[in-house]
Structure 1
Amino acid sequence: MVEHGGRARGVMPLRAEPLPLRFQIGARTLGSIERRLVRVSLSLDAIIAGAQPALPPLGRGDDGYLVTSLPAAGLDALLRGAGGMIGYVRQRYPRHYADLTIGFAAYQAALSGNTRSGLKRKTKRVIELSGGALDVRRFRTAAELGDFHAVARGISQRTYQERLLGGGLPDDAAFVRAMTEQAAADQVRAWLLYVAGEPAAYLYCPIAGGTVRYDHVGHDPAFNDLSPGGVLMLEAMRDLYAEPGLRRFDFTEGDGQHKRSFATAGVACVDLLLLRPTLANRATIAALEAFDRGALWAKRAVARLGLERVARRVRR
């Protein structure tokens, strides 16, 4: 998330663009409705400070805004000042982060006992399969990041995030150029984990103002039983705690077990749709609300019946 000069700290207003509002269960998209929206995101610093986003003017054909990671404490104030626009909270979650100033020993102590024991067991198994040593490779310079990208793309192509969500490690020219520029400015860190000589997991993290951002992560599903992403995450955190000048690790928008396991704190946030009160937009919100309510009911039913493992297979 990027700061924009002249506006609220940590806010980056963009021009409106067609954005799909997805009817989604897990990784599977069942359908979508497209609206022209200005996406407004807040940086972790702005969220912790409780900043309110400054919403840029809408064009004639624009439908509204998608405000992501809005601090929940500021929701009512934003709605009151929305000038008759209609709001719908699509998602609630903590914006997870880890304090990188406390030292690695204190960080490990802050993890749950189950997380620590599980990581110890998985790491031991990975070491055994890798001939007695943990094979983590680290990348920082522009030349090194080129090597990282080639290998990580191979892993990314096999992940469900890329196959089903289009959320893998990008390979377009703009991303590669930005990666190279960030590396030249010493503003990116990346890691690969190998298991028995095979690339198993990657992690790519830009750095801005002392905040390390959890931008791209993935692992080869062939290694699912080893939890290679968790093993690699702990080693990356070990490296970051040893590096001076870093303040926080930002797990970015959305919730998830992995983020909850490795974070030390979080701020309650919402993703808010804020739309002009047209008939089409009212119908859009009604459809999203009905779908989200049904998905929540189904999730609770699955948990009540103990079918979580089956549901995970269906979602992917």
Structure 2
Amino acid sequence: MTAVALKFQVGARTLASVKRRLVRIALSLDDALAGTAPSPPPMTGDGYLVTSLPEALVGQVEVGGCVAVVRQRYTRFYTDLTVGHDAWLAGLSGSARSTLKRKTKKAEAAGMAVRAYRTAAEFDAFYPLARGVSARTYQERLLDAGLPEDAASVAHLRAQAAADGLRAWLLTIAGEPAAYLCCTVQGTALRYDHVGHDPALNDLSPGTVLQAAALRDLFADRFARFDFTEGEGQHKRLFASGGVACVDLLLLRPTLANRATLAALTAFDGAMARAKRLAQHPRLAALAKRVRR
């Protein structure tokens, strides 16, 4: 059980949050694909947060009187690594293949190089270079989701590398670190855990180019799938070959405070969903485009 901040969030910006003591049940990609509902342990705090629960199983997760609310819906994307690189590439749209080729050529012309890391000693070389990139990324500045720097987390990553449970890549431009990818093993999949690129080099698309290079390596590795984890995004949709429709399910004790929190979260999430739909209206989209100019 841990203190979980239930966030009132607009995009990457958190407007407010309410903390609750929750048991977090995080399903792996293997779990989500198996389609078996989890059995929550006895309740000791305010409730549970179940992540990556297949949407079809929402009604099958019930805990003694808890009030359940779906916080978000998303596709948990993955790439099937058993099909081979050529078959995966052929499965992409012509536009996607053209985009990857064009971006890779542009990065190569700027002096791109990619290096892979997997052992503990190699992780020691990778980490300080990747941390330098991470410190400049929006993931670290806005989401507090950069490459960890506390001693315990770094030691854990190194231990995973020593046990053949880590794969990492660094992309450089003209010898300078520009993007990194650090992934760990979970079941039969390799997870998309820590990623970032130097925003000053956005025009070279270093993150996209690095992801393509990493997947090329992984088709010759031992993993069944590359797991893009929770949440969606254009980057994930570009590289994925499949996905599972999932939800994050919040279950809280039916106390007055918890009911008030759930009501506020539900109202806020509903308002954000309506605002997103309105923003996609052609006239509003055109107006937003003019304002950005």
TM-score under structure 2 length normalisation: 0.94
Select which of 56, 71, 75 maps to 1:73.
Answer: 56
Greater mean alpha carbon deviation, residues 268-277 or residues 172-181: 172-181
Q: Which residue of structure 2 aligns with residue 5 of structure 1?
A: none
SS in 2 for 1:306: helix
SS in 2 for 1:255: coil
Q: Which residue of structure 2 aligns with residue 181 of structure 1?
A: 159
SS in 2 for 1:186: coil
Q: Which residue of structure 2 aligns with residue 167 of structure 1?
A: 145
Q: Which residue of structure 1 aligns with residue 234 of structure 2?
A: 257
Q: Hey, what's the Cα distance between the residues in 2 that align with 1:276 and 1:188?
A: 38
Q: Which residue of structure 2 aligns with residue 270 of structure 1?
A: 247
Contact 1:112 1:261 in 2 (8 A): no
| 1:103-122 equivalences in 2 (<5 Å) | 103-122=84-103
| 1:62-211 equivalences in 2 (<5 Å) | 62-78=45-61, 81-130=62-111, 134-211=112-189
- Once the two structures are superposed, residues 11-38 of structure 1 have per-residue CA deviations (whole angstroms, 9 ceiling, x without a partner) of xxxxx22211111111111111111111
Unaligned stretches of 5+ in structure 1? Answer: 1-15
Greater mean alpha carbon deviation, residues 171-180 or residues 87-96: 171-180
| 1:2-41 equivalences in 2 (<5 Å) | 16-41=1-26
Residue identity matched to 2:47: G
1:247 aligns with 2:247: no
Residue identity matched to 1:187: G
Select which of 284, 290, 307 maps to 2:267.
Answer: 290
- Once the two structures are superposed, residues 176-196 of structure 1 have per-residue CA deviations (whole angstroms, 9 ceiling, x without a partner) of 111221111121110011112
The structural deviation recorded for 1:87 is 0.6
Residue identity matched to 2:235: H
TM-score under structure 1 length normalisation: 0.88
Q: Hey, what's the Cα distance between the residues in 2 that align with 1:57 and 1:240?
A: 39
SS in 2 for 1:52: coil
The structural deviation recorded for 1:308 is 9.7
Select which of 45, 55, 65 maps to 2:40.
Answer: 55
SS in 1 for 2:280: helix
The structural deviation recorded for 1:278 is 0.9
SS in 1 for 2:65: coil
- Once the two structures are superposed, residues 133-174 of structure 1 have per-residue CA deviations (whole angstroms, 9 ceiling, x without a partner) of x40011111111111110111111111111111100001111
Residue identity matched to 1:64: G
The structural deviation recorded for 1:227 is 1.5
Q: Which residue of structure 2 aligns with residue 306 of structure 1?
A: 285
Larger relative contact order (CA 8 Å, sep ≥ 6): 2
- Distance of aligned partners of 1:301 and 1:276 in 2 relative to their CA distance in 1, 3 Å threshold: same
How many percent of aligned residue pairs carry the same amino acid? Answer: 60
Residue identity matched to 2:39: A
Q: Hey, what's the Cα distance between the residues in 1 that align with 2:192 and 2:204?
A: 21
Residue identity matched to 1:137: R
The structural deviation recorded for 1:108 is 0.7
- Distance of aligned partners of 1:202 and 1:307 in 2 relative to their CA distance in 1, 3 Å threshold: farther
Unaligned stretches of 5+ in structure 2? Answer: none
- Distance of aligned partners of 1:165 and 1:208 in 2 relative to their CA distance in 1, 3 Å threshold: closer
The structural deviation recorded for 1:220 is 0.7
SS in 2 for 1:230: helix
Contact 1:88 1:285 in 2 (8 A): yes
- Once the two structures are superposed, residues 55-79 of structure 1 have per-residue CA deviations (whole angstroms, 9 ceiling, x without a partner) of 11112xx11101000011111111x
Q: Hey, what's the Cα distance between the residues in 2 that align with 1:70 and 1:308?
A: 37
Q: Hey, what's the Cα distance between the residues in 2 that align with 1:73 and 1:247?
A: 24
- Distance of aligned partners of 1:96 and 1:170 in 2 relative to their CA distance in 1, 3 Å threshold: same
